[in-house]
Structure 1
Amino acid sequence: MSANSAEPRVLPLPLLNHFSASRSAVTCEYRCGNACAHDAPNESDNSYFGDVVRRVMDRRGALRAGAVLSVAAGVTAAAGGTAAARPGRGHGNGHGHGHGHGGHTAVGTDFDPVQPNTRDSVVIPDGYEQQVVIRWGDPVLASAPEFDFRNQTPEAQQLQFGYNNDFAGLIPLDRAGIHNLLVVNHEYTSETHMFADYDPDNPTEQQVRTAWAAHGMSVLLVRRDPARGGLTPLPSWYSRRITLRTEFEMRGPAAGSDLLKTSEDPSGKRVLGTQNNCAGGVTPWGTVLSGEENFHQYFANADLVSDPLTRERMRRYGVGTGSSTRKWERFEKRWDAGREPNESNRFGWIVEVDPHDPDSTPVKHTALGRFKHEGATVRTTEDGRVAVYMGDDERFDYIYKFVSSGRMKNGRSAHARRHNMSLLDHGTLYVARFSGDSPASEIDGSGEPPSDGEFDGSGEWLPLATGDTSHVPGFTAEEVYVFTRLAADRVGATKMDRPEDIEPNPTNGRIYCALTNNSNRGAAGHAPVDEANPRIGNKHGHVMEIREDHDDPTSTRMSWGLLLVCGDPEDAGTYYGGFDKDQVSPISCPDNVAFDRHGNLWIATDGNELGSHDGLFAVPVSGSERGHVKQFLTVPNGAETCGPIITDDLVTVCVQHPGDNGSGPENPGSHWPDGGDSQPRPSLVAVWRSHGHRVGEIGRR
């Protein structure tokens, strides 16, 4: 439907006196174990060096602080080297902050923005068309039976498109992008909305095994119609379902560690399945990386673990005490932490899948560390190495980077793919520490920029481990990889406001990180505001822009700035890249990010706190339109916008958990995508310009 279809419920701009439109209780419980209702597991007191220096400068003056900087240079690189140019004001585009006055529309964002609304549909701009490409339960393999909501089986589900699609990656198989491999994550299951007769206290074994089959990933061949638009799944030998019963290979420096061994896998190198797969990335060699995120909630009885160190490590990752929400521990002992204390250590990794080879064994890369991975995206260096950027999606957790030791081979042959996949097993894992350049007194928690007009500063990548060598006192290398959060605590990484998707911009080389929200920022007993996380009770989130020194992904030095401080544009505590806020679409809770070929940033939201449904937004990052946020679409009732793909020819999004705001199958909160009185089904949607025009480019084919 277009933005102007009949009888939309439109909310006025700007949004005032908004109500909360955040996630339903069902979504919170089944996606992340209701993490925000519990204390954040990061209780470390790791005030980072930038805070210490700034407090000293405020108290004693800059001259006396210089002595502190000189002393600190012996123990940290924060005071050494040449700082990279700031990514914000006047950086690389000839325009200072406050420049945005709508002089022209940036190429790639030339569309009429969709107004905030609460319609039970995907609402798109005028002049665009849409299509549901694939829904939960649709065939992935040719032998899949027709979907039957009231008669689901694990045998059928393991052949069908899984539940709650999140990340999607599109890999062209020809130069025109007509035939493509489509890889989609299936993050989690909402059993109370998935099954008509589900009893949360007494799930049946068939329901549990069906849920196991609904997790994981799908691989399909799709065809783009160059004449009429859209994508069509095709029967193909590429077709594959990856589930919680698929065997994965553990690789890298922690593979075979005693910390990864279980009674079912004494080798510590073979794991069944992947779960809670959130965002991801397509590698330059044509594989897909996928992040295992909220794995903690699937495990039970951590309180029954006898070893106090193991219990403490589980607590830092949020592994549950007592029975789990889904009760899987009743049907397989590996979900019972009291019986298999190492099984939870085998989740929380970056996995890699080769969609070109349906017989290949997927990999879990231990060198990339273990935490609640939102995703992983790759940037190549001038000398052929690769850097992988990752966020740990938890309140007060961290931003990470991995840099390979080896160099990439060009091409996407089977030989090149095998070689390049091995790059992610050898290299250095880093965590980020940020410091601001403004006096602490100017970071007052309101979100209003300091006197220099921007939240910005410098930072460094702190090494955690290289191969079998630990850089963290008191930690072995294996402990760094398996308990990465604890190692990052030890070195004093910067506590962030839920770092989710992090991606390098292929046009300008800068790194963009969506920080979704953190209601506990600045609250009693929690980390205070700082320039990188400047708002108390940050319910709308922000977007950080990072430039590494000399634009070199191997550098350990960086500068940073906040591109967006999200929320109601009429609120003084919001910032839209310096653009005139009277002209922007309001945005709240940024989650996934992507780029078009012009370098514009596209942002998908999760948990909009401004009274509208979640959506997809485009924003230029340079030129006179820098910060001009425009809403491209909204998703249906109860849904989240996930996994955007942006090409010249189409935009795709994954519509996750539609209808979770209802009470279940007897009273669903949505009837999308099939309408009528149908059950809601998570689905992937394609959107394209009518008459063959390019996305966001008026009049261009």
Structure 2
Amino acid sequence: MRNLLPLISSHSAHAGGRSALTCRFRCGDACFKETPNTSDNEYAGDIIARAVSRRSMMRTAAVVTVAAAAGTAALTGPSAPQAEAAALAGHGHKPYPPHKPAPSGARGLRFSPVAPNKNDKVTVPDGYGQNVVIRWGEPILRGAPAFNPEKQTAKAQAGQFGYNNDFLSLLPLRGERGRQVLVANHEYTDEVLMFRGYDPANPTREQVEIAWAAHGLSVVVVQEESRTGKLGAVTRHPLNRRLTATSEFRVTGPAAGSPLLRTSADRTGSKVLGTLNNCAGGTTPWGTTLHGEENFNQYFANGTTAMHKRYGIGSGATERKWERFDRRFDLAQEPNEANRFGWVVELDPYDPDSTPRKRTALGRFKHEAAEPRLTADGRPVVYMGDDEKFDYLYKFVSSKRMKKGNSRAAREHNLTLLDEGTLYVAKLTGDSPAAEIDGSGKLPDDGEFDGSGVWIPLATGTTSHVPGMTADEVYVYTRLAGDKVGATKMDRPEDVEPSPRTGRVYVALTNNSDRGKEGKAPADEANPRNGNKHGQVLELAENWDDPTSDGFDWRLFLVAGDPNDPSTYFAGFPKDRVSPISCPDNVAFDTHGNLWISTDGNQLGSHDGLFGVATQGDRRGELKQFLTVPTGAETCGPVIQDRRVLVAVQHPGEVDGASVEKPASTWPDGPGKIVRPSVVAVWRKDGRDIGV
């Protein structure tokens, strides 16, 4: 038996484990401002009575009622944990057996775990190699110059790989042996680390325009080395592409053309310049990529309305001062411009001439991600989290079926799949007595945090299901719709990923330091810790044969933190055999069914990292750290292939007091070089598959 991996004792006192510099540029200091969700739907209680057809796991009739006094829901039907085990068994899933781990570990996770550390590098397991695939500023378009941080221009940046890479997708490239298409999000810029002598009170137009060009998306073909898992960028390939804060995007779906989306520059409400703060995303079965616009609020100045406030938009100037150079970022002049951000963007990476589309049917909020899969009858379902304290979990069910094949007709049809369907928000109910959920994280008497839930419909096409709101208002002000129907306030729902093997859906809930504070929502069974520093991972099970099913069962798969802390939980796996983990963020699956989790804001004193955890079998819950990232960095966008793992190393060196003149990190190019966000590939030196 190996010992519990050690923790590093010292850690940041800053909210979420991030530096103040990261909070400043990434989310506009959201943690230090009033939480936008001030609704009382969870603990004062509007009454919701909804008869639910439970074709989900238990296949029993249930009625979810939110009582005005208690603000809780009651579910009729079998109770956990026996009923849940029976339900899973009845749908092809066996109850989980006692833990009797084999010495070799779960297939796909057979590596020596990396110990928590503060190394200023990417640290990987013994026997593994790595390389930087592409860095911020590397030219990817024809005519783009080599990167020179001392002579950077907006024109140069528009042809180079963008800043702060986040979501990654690797897609096949037919006809070009050993090549794949890499798609990357560029979430935000940190001008302090980009420009020598940067004056935050007086940015120059050139600096602002460089930042516009450093946001957005990159498409770049990559070439693998046949003897290893190493990848390298193929510069100036015809598919390579940059989309920035000034590129044209189409607005599609039921809210396209709405008066709420019209501005003086676009009186049709159908064309938008740019995409901003793209965090995580998803890859569709029909070969496109999805990109979530997250903390868009921080780019807009002079918010004037209650809806601006509900979306976290301040009433004064912005950090970057973009409103000085383009009136659309000043809501006093263009109050609807902010409504044109906060969407899921769909991109066709195989068509460099296509216009990406903002899909209004998927709702508008701080999209951390949008991960689709197909139902048994071929309809896409997209799961989404709203990354804010006390905001909600959503899904969209398309009314159309995907067409197979790569014909022009099939591709054109499939590019309409996310414009028609029903948008839902989640209401979760625990199955334990309220007295057993005391905010400490102590497990209830049944041994699990678990329960049932309902997907509450918000809108279908041009039909609103929310009293007092039109369909346009539901799509544009989706947060308000969730407030009105009594959705469950969650601990920052970030990435959401359905398992390709079981159909279970995993939700990374990163943290919520305000849980249980006076005037805030108290702990509940899905969010069981007050002052939640470390976060948890939620597991949903719903009936995949029926896309109209609005019921599901859920349980907490992981409750993160120091395994020595009694409030942590690793799916029942012995805690002396797991790596410590804090603040789960992005998630992905490997071909063996293991869940891989990247972290953001580790509160245990170590650098952030990437972890693999078995979701099935004897080792369910065994979590092992695969890598750590450099000083100040966050681990993003994991892609797990058989022969390699890709991660986006975001904001390296983003430490309080750091600047171009005083760097806090020397990664990736060593002393004397500017710190550069980059994509890293990791592989086994012996050429075999990862973790086998």
* Same fold, judged at TM 0.5 (above): yes
What is the alpha-carbon distance in structure 2 between the residues aligned to residue 14 and residue 440 of structure 1?
Answer: 35
Q: Which moved more, 1:456-465 or 1:140-149?
A: 140-149
- Given the alignment, which residue of 396, 413, 423 partners 1:429? 423
- Given the alignment, which residue of 554, 560, 564 partners 2:554? 560
Q: Please list the CA deviations of residues 65-122 of structure 1 after superposition, one character each: whole Å capped at 9, or x if unmatched.
A: x9997999xxx99746889963899866655486265554111000000000000000
- Given the alignment, which residue of 19, 25, 36 partners 2:11? 19
Contact 2:136 2:677 in 1 (8 A): yes
Contact 1:459 1:557 in 2 (8 A): yes
Q: Which moved more, 1:210-219 or 1:545-554?
A: 545-554
Tell me, which stretches of 5 or more residues in structure 2 are unaligned?
49-60
What corresponds to 1:165 in structure 2? 165
What is the alpha-carbon distance in structure 2 between the residues aligned to residue 18 and residue 103 of structure 1?
Answer: 33
In structure 2, do the counterparts of structure 1 residues 68 and 222 end up closer, same or farther at CA, with 3 Å as the change threshold?
closer
Q: Which moved more, 1:417-426 or 1:346-355?
A: 417-426
* 1:255 and 2:241 correspond: no
What is the alpha-carbon distance in structure 2 between the residues aligned to residue 300 and residue 587 of structure 1?
Answer: 37
What corresponds to 2:676 in structure 1? 681
* 1:29 and 2:24 correspond: yes
What is the alpha-carbon distance in structure 1 between the residues aligned to residue 298 and residue 383 of structure 2?
Answer: 25
- Structure 1 residue 198: deviation in Å? 1.1
Contact 1:454 1:561 in 2 (8 A): yes
In structure 2, do the counterparts of structure 1 residues 68 and 488 end up closer, same or farther at CA, with 3 Å as the change threshold?
closer
What is the alpha-carbon distance in structure 2 between the residues aligned to residue 98 and residue 674 of structure 1?
Answer: 48
What corresponds to 2:325 in structure 1? 331
* 1:271 and 2:266 correspond: no
Give matches, 1:686-697, under 5 Å: 686-697=681-692
Report the 3-state secondary structure (helix = DSSP H, G, I; strand = E; otherwise coil) of the residue aligned with 2:192. Answer: helix
* 1:660 and 2:654 correspond: yes
Give matches, 1:32-431, under 5 Å: 32-47=27-42, 79=75, 86=84, 94=94, 96=96, 99=99, 101=101, 104-174=104-174, 178-234=178-234, 235-302=236-303, 305=304, 311-431=305-425
Report the 3-state secondary structure (helix = DSSP H, G, I; strand = E; otherwise coil) of the residue aligned with 2:635. Answer: strand
What is the alpha-carbon distance in structure 1 between the residues aligned to residue 46 and residue 430 of structure 2?
Answer: 8
What is the alpha-carbon distance in structure 2 between the residues aligned to residue 187 and residue 412 of structure 1?
Answer: 31
Contact 1:365 1:424 in 2 (8 A): yes
What corresponds to 1:308 in structure 2? none
- Structure 1 residue 582: deviation in Å? 0.3
Give matches, 1:588-599, under 5 Å: 588-599=582-593
Q: Which moved more, 1:675-684 or 1:499-508?
A: 675-684
In structure 2, do the counterparts of structure 1 residues 100 and 435 end up closer, same or farther at CA, with 3 Å as the change threshold?
farther
- Structure 1 residue 151: deviation in Å? 1.5
What is the alpha-carbon distance in structure 2 between the residues aligned to residue 463 and residue 401 of structure 1?
Answer: 9
- Structure 1 residue 172: deviation in Å? 0.9
Report the 3-state secondary structure (helix = DSSP H, G, I; strand = E; otherwise coil) of the residue aligned with 1:533. Answer: coil
- Given the alignment, which residue of 511, 522, 538 partners 1:517? 511
- Structure 1 residue 321: deviation in Å? 1.1
What is the alpha-carbon distance in structure 2 between the residues aligned to residue 477 and residue 507 of structure 1?
Answer: 35
* AA partner of residue 191 (structure 1): E
What corresponds to 2:536 in structure 1? 542
The alignment yields a C-alpha RMSD, in angstroms, of 2.5
* AA partner of residue 682 (structure 2): V
* AA partner of residue 86 (structure 1): E
In structure 2, do the counterparts of structure 1 residues 551 and 51 end up closer, same or farther at CA, with 3 Å as the change threshold?
farther
What is the alpha-carbon distance in structure 1 between the residues aligned to residue 63 and residue 593 of structure 2?
Answer: 40
What corresponds to 1:4 in structure 2? none
Report the 3-state secondary structure (helix = DSSP H, G, I; strand = E; otherwise coil) of the residue aligned with 2:626. Answer: strand
What corresponds to 1:500 in structure 2? 494
- Structure 1 residue 291: deviation in Å? 0.1
Report the 3-state secondary structure (helix = DSSP H, G, I; strand = E; otherwise coil) of the residue aligned with 1:481. Answer: helix
What is the alpha-carbon distance in structure 1 between the residues aligned to residue 79 and residue 260 of structure 2?
Answer: 40
Contact 1:83 1:549 in 2 (8 A): no
Give matches, 1:565-604, under 5 Å: 565-604=559-598
In structure 2, do the counterparts of structure 1 residues 621 and 410 end up closer, same or farther at CA, with 3 Å as the change threshold?
same
Q: Give the structure-2-normalised TM-score.
A: 0.92
Q: Which has the higher helix share?
A: 1
Count of residue correspondences: 665
Q: Please list the CA deviations of residues 438-457 of structure 1 after superposition, one character each: whole Å capped at 9, or x if unmatched.
A: 11111111112111111000
- Structure 1 residue 549: deviation in Å? 3.0
Q: Which moved more, 1:453-462 or 1:87-96?
A: 87-96
What is the alpha-carbon distance in structure 1 between the residues aligned to residue 134 and residue 227 of structure 2?
Answer: 20
What is the alpha-carbon distance in structure 2 between the residues aligned to residue 191 and residue 217 of structure 1?
Answer: 18
- Structure 1 residue 421: deviation in Å? 1.7
What is the alpha-carbon distance in structure 2 between the residues aligned to residue 675 and residue 429 of structure 1?
Answer: 48
In structure 2, do the counterparts of structure 1 residues 563 and 521 end up closer, same or farther at CA, with 3 Å as the change threshold?
same
What is the alpha-carbon distance in structure 2 between the residues aligned to residue 359 and residue 644 of structure 1?
Answer: 27
In structure 2, do the counterparts of structure 1 residues 67 and 276 end up closer, same or farther at CA, with 3 Å as the change threshold?
closer
* AA partner of residue 20 (structure 1): S
- Structure 1 residue 231: deviation in Å? 1.0
Tell me, which stretches of 5 or more residues in structure 1 are unaligned?
1-10, 54-65, 306-310
Report the 3-state secondary structure (helix = DSSP H, G, I; strand = E; otherwise coil) of the residue aligned with 2:232. Answer: strand
Q: Please list the CA deviations of residues 651-686 of structure 1 after superposition, one character each: whole Å capped at 9, or x if unmatched.
A: 000000000115201111111000122211000000
- Structure 1 residue 692: deviation in Å? 1.4
